[in-house]
Amino acid sequence: MSETFAPAGAMLTIEALLAQLDHGHLAKEATAEYRALARALKDALNEGRSAKGSLSIRIRFAVEKGVIEATGEVVAKGPPPRRGRSIFHAGLTDYLSALDPMQPDLPLRVAPSPSAPVPLRTLKGTPTHD
């Protein structure tokens, strides 16, 4: 098991480096991206569709002013979510509309409410449950 903090002068393992890089924020970001990717892949699996994803952690090193600087970057690419289809119509303007301009609007009217409950009817030959 590797130590998060190595003794002075010791080489850091990659696990310890990731834990210390950007005060642990890179590791937290990578974990969050990993969980989101796993969730998206599980959703695709449950929906019966194929999917791919990737998670990359890039660490760049540079020697500046007598020290070695390290910066990290997390890049995650998950499967696209399932999208539905929508139907639109070209209207008389330059915009699309969900309403068909060739379909007339039907006037709405209020249905009268019965003064007493309407009893349910039964079909002939069906047993009744009294």
Please write the tens of the pLDDT for every residue from 18-59: 999 999 999 999 999 999 999 999 999 998 989 999 999 999
Reported as half-sphere exposure (CB side, CA atoms, 13 A), residue 85 has a value of: 1
Structure confidence by residue, pLDDT tens digits, 49-63: 899 999 999 999 999
Per the structure, the count of domains in the chain is 1
At position 115, the amino acid (one-letter code) is: S
Q: What are the pLDDT digits (tens) for 69-114?
A: 999 999 999 998 787 888 888 877 788 888 887 788 888 888 887 7
Any domain includes 102 = no
Domain with 21, as residue range(s), is 14-77
- Residue 17: which of 55, 65, 59 has the closest Cα? 59
Residue 124 lies in a domain: no
Q: Does residue 84 sit within a domain?
A: no
Provide the whole-model pTM: 0.57
Q: Is residue 44 part of a domain?
A: yes
